[in-house]
Amino acid sequence: MTRGDNVPIEPVAGRYELAEKIGTGGMGTVWRGYDAVLDREVAVKVIRTDVITSARDAKELADRFRREARITARIRHHGVPQVYDAVLEEPYDQLYLVMEYIHGTSLRSYIQPSALLPIPWAAAMAAQIATVLSHAHAIPVVHRDLKPANVLVSADGTVKVLDFGIAAILRPDVPQLTRLGIPMGTYQYMSPEQTRARQVTPQSDLYALGCLLHELLTGRPAFDGPTEDDFVEQHRHSRPTLVRVLRPEVPEDLEKLVLELLAKKPEQRPSDAYAAYLGLLPFLPPPGSSAPRSGPQLTGCPDPTQMYRRPNAPRPPDVLPRASAPALVLSPGGMADTNFKHAVADANRKVDDLLVEERYVQAADALQDVIDSGSADLGARHPAVLALRKKRAAILFVGGDYRRSLPEFDDLTRAYEVTEGPTGNNVIHCRRHAADCRAELGHGTHALQQYREVLRLVRAKESDISQIAIELRRSIGTLLAGEGDVTAAREVLNPLFDDLCVLYGPNHEETQEIAEILRYLTNG
């Protein structure tokens, strides 16, 4: 059974829910989904069933798919998506491979003749791919379909090589499986031996790497032609256009490496992926060097040299987004507003069910979908959109994702200040939770400053013993205690303890909690 957009209703294996189709290839369809047990995004590859015409075909496809899962799971490198699960159940009419979901952009997006990559960037991308291939070839397994569409660039510039699904283990004791008419590679990047259906070796992947490197440096494919036959003929017999003819500033040795990778005979190519990496090494920036300041402007392209310039560097601090400009807001009661209310009601029902199961990641994503549509239709500062964003930020916080909830609370604070002023309830709520996020992330100084600012606003608006004031005073005191500032912590917690004794009595849970902290501060 399926719902709209052919999304199956029933979870795969009772736990993997398919959300949206993200790609289709020769072996099947890839979906973005969720693991309901571990509350995380996953990628689910669904084997094609239209090629199954008999029980024998089904068994061969199941064997092939099982092998794909096992092969990919054995490639232990961060440049290959991790395999989580393989679902193969007779009669094999549906086969699923559950993998790590990668957030990234196809390498194809960054290959443009009008905006060439800086030479170190092209070398860095090729070097990362060579590193992945070295780990795969050691198993040994050949990718067979290396191309820009099978390479993703993550936000931090790391490269991920996808789809080892048509790979074959290079061992004589492994029986060959029937191809079932499924194409084995992409003709623009096929080695000459692949075009002749001869034995494929790791050198075949190096040839495809040469095609990629040529394209990364020049923005143009190594060979070109209107038909598949034209490409096949050129792969077999033609010399590629020299890189330095298309881009004279490319170093001669780098052009020489491209030609070695594109040699017609496998034995004339580099001996292995490690040798290819060594050939790229002189063109990579050394550790400690700065990012290049010259070259074309690359819209949104992450820096792939980061991992070489700053190896094993910690994650950089997140850049907090600025509040976007107010968009057009339609009048209440309009068609867009009515449709949005229905969408919100549906989303809230779904989110409430997910929260019961503590599936915070999926709940936050479900709200993001309706937030995006509401922002487009009603404006980013529509009250209902802001309320949804506030709920989503709270869900992220409860789920422990403080890095994502912090910029949301900061931006919501700015948005609500426009309509409510600095002492509005929503402003105070969002500023307080932004401080909570900073405290959880270890930004103690900034968190204390923000807690105190919010407490000052609350005292002016309400009183020192309102519920939120009590919570803020407790947060300030415990944070000071945690940072070892015993004197300042006592100055906050002693009067708080006295107030709690009056409000709730000395035996109340909250009173006893503060008493315990004070005893700890006294006794060390």
Cα torsion 455, 461, 464, 469 to 10°: value is: -50
Tell me which residue has tokens 């395999």.
Answer: 83
Instruction: Note if 145 is an active site residue.
Output: yes
> Could you tell me how many helices (H) and strands (E) the chain has, helices first?
18, 10
Close Cβ partners of 48 (under 8 Å, ≥ 6 residues apart): 26, 27, 28, 29, 182
* CA-based nearest residue to 407, from 362, 385, 438: 438
Sign of CA dihedral 123, 129, 134, 137: negative
- The whole-angstrom separation of Cα 407 and Cα 430 is 10
* Long-range contacts, 181-186 (Cβ 8 Å, 24+): 181/51, 182/26, 182/27, 182/48, 182/51, 183/26, 184/144, 184/145, 185/144, 185/145, 186/145, 186/147, 186/149
Listed in order, strand segments (DSSP E) in 129-263 are 141-142, 151-154, 159-161, 168-169
Binning the chain into helix, strand and coil, the percentages to the nearest 5 are 50, 10, 35
Which of 57, 63, 145, 410 does the annotation list as catalytic? 145
* CA-based nearest residue to 80, from 61, 46, 104, 113: 104
**Which residues are annotated as catalytic?**
145
